[in-house]
A and B are shown apart, each in its own frame.
Chain A
Amino acid sequence: MVLSMEHVIETKDLTKFFGKRNIIYHLNLKVPKGVVYGFLGPNGAGKTTTIKMLTAALRPTYGEIRIFGLEMPQKRVEIMKNVGYMPEVPIAYEDMTIVEFLTYIGRLSGLKKEEAIKQTKELMRYVGVGRLALNKIKELSSGQKQRVAFASALIADPELLILDEPTANLDPLGRIEFIGKIISLAKEGKTIFVSSHIVSEVEKMCNYVGLINQGRLIAQGRVSELTQIEETEYDIITSDNGKACEFLREKPYVREIWEEEGTIRVQVDPRFLDEFFLQFPKYLTSQGIRLKLFRPHTSPLERILMEKFNIGEESD
């Protein structure tokens, strides 16, 4: 199959009604080849419904879906030769052992028996369930099931991975490990479409993002492009917070300043950011005060979310 297209996933006016309820509204997704696309939105925003339409579990009420330039669901069989999918809640044949399940999924993906067995062995090690190979899936914890589901998505070495809330059942260490794996898969050139409501994870994994709320796509693009809004609130720790606060309080461009658990939080008038960045370090140097920490108060993606979703608190 020749995968020559600008966008691996492209939807046009994708709309879904359940009865009279409008769940997805004129969604125009564009997922370029080779990116890790974070599909970010609060719970109930329509992420899973969109993914179910992308994987042919649901039919769009109207609109078009193209994956690898082929129309879904008409060309489902061709498309699915190159797609790996991991659902939000791991689904598997509970009475099968991990080996049986992965080999079966491998064979359904078009692999020969020997290939499927080889891939199964490698993937069990890769996702960390090698020692549980002969355990039945119903005997696994939800985190282990999630790992098996991830292995099943990777079994045929697909060009495109669609992952729905992939870290939902993983423990903190498992999450870190998973994010590392996504980054390394992206380096291999795979296109990864990952839905999540956890901003920090999306920030770590994704270089492209689509923000969805109430079934509408609010923003879409490269994270670096979307987050080019200047930050005005900073967290600062110095070797002498008292003196630093005193200096900042006198400045007219400082709108608000307070100290919380040894960290100064300062809000600067955006029109005078240049002055703030010139004067504050100069003052610290002149007074022999060491700057221990200086960072924007919120992450760039969180700011975008708060701005686009009109919320005052971070969404996760």
Chain B
Amino acid sequence: MISVLYQNEVYRLLKSRRFKVMLLLMLLPVVIYFFTHEEITEYSAKALEISFQINISQFLINFWASVIGQLIVIIIMSDLLASEIDRGTIRLLLVKPIKKSEIVFGKFFSGITTVSLIFGIPYLVMEIYMVLLYKSGFEGFTATFDDFLYALSVTILVLGSLGAVSMLLSVILSRPLYASLASFGLVFTAQFILPQLPFFDNPERFNLSYQIGVLLKRGFTLHTGLDTYKGDVTMSALFFLSVILLSLTFTLLGLYRKEYEG
């Protein structure tokens, strides 16, 4: 049953105008790179890989996973359950032989699939463009494909945790707009306001973009610039994974406790 819910939700999201706009927005760094890329001096798979790691991590930290990327994830994920509750269609699901856990996980994974496409397509376009630019062919593509997958995995892990928190808030608040605003409030307070308190050392490490840098460091070994991001990769990964699991558990509890009067 979860697959029916998942397929329908992904289809609905991909068909929406919102998805197309968000995808176009995420393609912006690729367009910027198209016009501003460095002069190519060495045409090899190795040079391509180094350049790919440098460019993708720069765009990821400064654009894709920054405010704009976080905004996109919050908007998508907070709408998944809240719109069902708000419009009353959740009652259609409750009168069907489908478990509440299937509703939560089906929705979460459909949201994550959409987020993966919104971020993954630009990463892939960037990779293909760079392969063409470096004239490194299939060898270059395979050399950078691991980096592409790694960057996407890091994005999903970090922004997925943000999405899971948004889903939890959306069950509590029941309205997509309120849930989005609350998620923004929470996320930006946690990233930018609380760390400014005097007893927080190294406030930038509370920033999601900074943590992306920490996580990328493990996989992007050719990009030495990532060494400035101090932190334990395993601890960061565990932290984001725990946030996802805890948020989904509480979302499920919220769904069990909730009453649907509308």
Contact = CB atoms under 8 A, between A and B. Distances in A.
Interface string B235-262: 0000000000000000000000001110
A55 B4 contact: no
A179 interface: no
B43 to A, nearest CB: 49
A104 B10 CA distance: 13
Contact of B93 (A95, A107, A108): A108
Contacts of B259: 57-59
A108 B89 contact: no
Interface size class of B (residues with CB under 8 A): 20 to 34
A207 B242 CA distance: 56
A107 B91 contact: no
Interface residues of A, number: 28
Interface stretch (A27-35, A80-88, A123-131, A220-228): A80-88
B96 A91 contact: no
A55 B91 contact: yes
A56 interface: yes
A266 interface: no
A105 B92 CA distance: 8
A143 to B, nearest CB: 19
Contacts of B94: 55-57, 76, 80
Contacts, number: 63
B1 A56 contact: no
Interface string B1-26: 10011001000100000000000000
B98 A77 contact: yes
B88 interface: yes
A108 B98 contact: yes
Contacts of B218: none
Contacts of A94: 87
Contact of B12 (A76, A85, A87, A95): A95
A257 interface: no
B255 to A, nearest CB: 11
A55 B4 CA distance: 21
A92 interface: yes
Nearest to A108: B96
Given A57-B260, A58-B261, A108-B1, A91 B99 contact: no
Contacts of B91: 52, 55, 57, 87, 91
Nearest to B99: A77
A92 B89 contact: yes
B96 A109 contact: yes
28 contacts: A52-B91, A52-B261, A55-B91, A55-B94, A55-B95, A56-B95, A57-B94, A57-B261, A58-B259, A77-B97, A78-B97, A80-B95, A87-B88, A87-B91, A91-B88, A91-B89, A91-B91, A91-B92, A92-B92, A93-B12, A93-B89, A104-B4, A105-B92, A108-B1, A108-B92, A108-B93, A108-B98, A152-B92
Interface of B: 1, 4-5, 8, 12, 87-89, 91-99, 259-261
Interface of A: 52, 55-59, 76-78, 80-81, 83-85, 87, 89, 91-95, 104-105, 107-110, 152
